[in-house]
A and B are shown apart, each in its own frame.
Chain A
Amino acid sequence: MSLPVTDAATSRYDSSHEPLLQIRDLEVGFQTQRGLVPAVRGVDLTLYAGQTLAIVGESGSGKSTTAQSIIDLLPGTGKVTAGQILFEGRDLTTLSAREIQEVRGNLIGYVPQDPMSNLNPVWSIGFQVEEAIKANNIAQGKEARLRTIQVLQEAGLSDAGDRLKQFPHQFSGGMRQRVLIGIGLSSRPKLLIADEPTSALDVTVQRQILDHLGTLTRDYGTSVLFITHDLGLAAERAEQLVVMYKGKVVESGPSQQILANPQHPYTQRLVAAAPSLASRRIQAVKTHDSVEGEIFAQGAIDNTLLERAAERENAAPAKDLISVRNVSKVYRIRKQGFRTDELKAVNDVSFSVQKGTTTALVGESGSGKSTVAKLLLKLESITSGDIEFDGHDVSALKGAELLKFRRRVQPVFQDPYGSLDPQYSVGNTIAEPLLAHKVGTARERQMRVLELLDQVSLPASTRYRYPSELSGGQRQRIAIARALALKPDVLVLDEAVSALDVLVQGQILNLLTELQTELGLTYLFITHDLAVVRLVADNVCVMRKGQIIESATTDEVFDNPRETYTQDLLAAIPGGNFEFGR
Chain B
Amino acid sequence: MLWYTGKRILQMIPVFFGATFLIYFMVFSLPGDPIAALFGDRPPAPSVIAQIRAEYNLDKPFIVQYFLYIGGLFQGDLGTTYSGRPVADVMASAFPITARLALLALVFEAFAGVLVGLIAGLRKGKWFDATALVVSLLLISVPTFVVGFVLQYVFGIQLGWFRPTVSGDAPWGELVLPAIVLASVSFAYIVRLTRASVADNLNADFVRTATAKGLSRRRVVTVHVLRNSLVPVVTYLGVDLGALMVGAIVTEGIFNINGVGGTVYRAVTLGEGPTVVSFIAVMVIIFVVANLLVDLLYAALDPRIRYAK
Residues of A that sit less than 8 Å from B by CB: 71, 73, 75-76, 97, 101-106, 109-110, 112-114, 117-124, 131-132, 135-136, 167, 169, 180, 183-184, 187, 334-337
Which are the 9 A-B pairs with shortest beta-carbon distances? A105-B214, A110-B212, A132-B213, A117-B205, A104-B214, A120-B206, A167-B303, A105-B213, A118-B209
Q: In the complex, what residues of B have CB within 8 A of residue A335's CB?
A: 308
Contact present for A120 and B303 (CB under 8 Å): no
Q: In the complex, what residues of B have CB within 8 A of residue A334's CB?
A: 308-309
Contact present for B304 and A121 (CB under 8 Å): yes
Contact present for A169 and B303 (CB under 8 Å): yes
Contact present for B214 and A102 (CB under 8 Å): yes
A194 to chain B, nearest CB (A): 12
Contact present for B212 and A104 (CB under 8 Å): yes
Say whether B53 faces chain A, with CB atoms less than 8 Å apart.
no
Contact present for A71 and B303 (CB under 8 Å): no
- Closest-by-CB residue of B relative to A121 is B304
Say whether B228 faces chain A, with CB atoms less than 8 Å apart.
yes
19 A–B contacts from the bound complex (CB under 8 Å): A71-B212, A75-B203, A75-B208, A76-B203, A105-B213, A106-B214, A112-B205, A114-B205, A117-B205, A117-B206, A118-B208, A120-B206, A121-B228, A122-B228, A122-B301, A124-B303, A132-B214, A135-B213, A183-B213
Contact present for B208 and A337 (CB under 8 Å): no
Contact present for B214 and A135 (CB under 8 Å): yes
Q: How far is the CA of A106 from the CA of B224 in the complex (A)?
A: 20
A138 to chain B, nearest CB (A): 10
Q: In the complex, what residues of A have CB within 8 A of residue B50's CB?
A: none
Contact present for A336 and B308 (CB under 8 Å): yes
B231 to chain A, nearest CB (A): 8
Contact present for A135 and B205 (CB under 8 Å): no
Q: In the complex, what residues of B have CB within 8 A of residue A124's CB?
A: 303
Q: How far is the CA of A123 from the CA of B3 in the complex (A)?
A: 25
Contact present for A122 and B213 (CB under 8 Å): no
How big is chain B's contact interface, by range?
20 to 34
Q: How far is the CA of A113 from the CA of B219 in the complex (A)?
A: 23
Other A-B contacts than A76-B203, A119-B209, 10 sampled, CB-CB below 8 A, are A101-B214, A103-B214, A118-B209, A120-B207, A120-B228, A121-B303, A121-B304, A122-B228, A187-B214, A336-B308
- Closest-by-CB residue of A relative to B306 is A336
> B218-236 interface mask toward A, CB cutoff 8 Å, 1 = contact, 0 = none?
0100011001100100000
Residues of B that sit less than 8 Å from A by CB: 3, 203-217, 219, 223-224, 227-228, 231, 301-304, 308-309
A69 to chain B, nearest CB (A): 13
B109 to chain A, nearest CB (A): 23
- Closest-by-CB residue of A relative to B231 is A122
Q: In the complex, what residues of A have CB within 8 A of residue B209's CB?
A: 110, 112, 118-119, 180, 183
The A contact surface, by secondary structure, is: loop
Q: How far is the CA of A101 from the CA of B214 in the complex (A)?
A: 5
Contact present for A120 and B210 (CB under 8 Å): yes
Contact present for A118 and B303 (CB under 8 Å): no
Contact present for B3 and A105 (CB under 8 Å): no
Partner among A102, A122, A180, A184 whose Cβ is within 8 Å of the Cβ of B302: A122
Contacts A114-B205, A167-B304: A120 and B224 contacting too (C-beta < 8 A)?
A: yes
- Closest-by-CB residue of A relative to B212 is A110
Contact present for A104 and B211 (CB under 8 Å): yes
Q: In the complex, what residues of A have CB within 8 A of residue B3's CB?
A: 337
Contact present for B216 and A135 (CB under 8 Å): yes
Contact present for A97 and B211 (CB under 8 Å): no
Most buried by A among B203, B207, B217, B223: B223
A109 to chain B, nearest CB (A): 8
Q: How far is the CA of A336 from the CA of B1 in the complex (A)?
A: 9
A112 to chain B, nearest CB (A): 5
Q: In the complex, what residues of B have CB within 8 A of residue A180's CB?
A: 209
Partner among B208, B227, B304 whose Cβ is within 8 Å of the Cβ of A112: B208
Contact present for A117 and B211 (CB under 8 Å): no
A35 to chain B, nearest CB (A): 17
B146 to chain A, nearest CB (A): 37
Q: How far is the CA of A136 from the CA of B213 in the complex (A)?
A: 8
- Closest-by-CB residue of B relative to A165 is B303
A271 to chain B, nearest CB (A): 31
Q: How far is the CA of A122 from the CA of B302 in the complex (A)?
A: 5
Contact present for B309 and A97 (CB under 8 Å): no
Q: How far is the CA of A537 from the CA of B209 in the complex (A)?
A: 40
Q: How far is the CA of A564 from the CA of B257 in the complex (A)?
A: 80
Q: In the complex, what residues of B have CB within 8 A of residue A119's CB?
A: 206, 209
Q: How far is the CA of A118 from the CA of B224 in the complex (A)?
A: 11
Contact present for A73 and B211 (CB under 8 Å): yes
Contact present for A101 and B303 (CB under 8 Å): no
Contact present for B304 and A123 (CB under 8 Å): no
Most buried by A among B209, B210, B215: B209
Q: How far is the CA of A118 from the CA of B209 in the complex (A)?
A: 6
Contact present for B217 and A97 (CB under 8 Å): yes
Q: In the complex, what residues of B have CB within 8 A of residue A336's CB?
A: 308
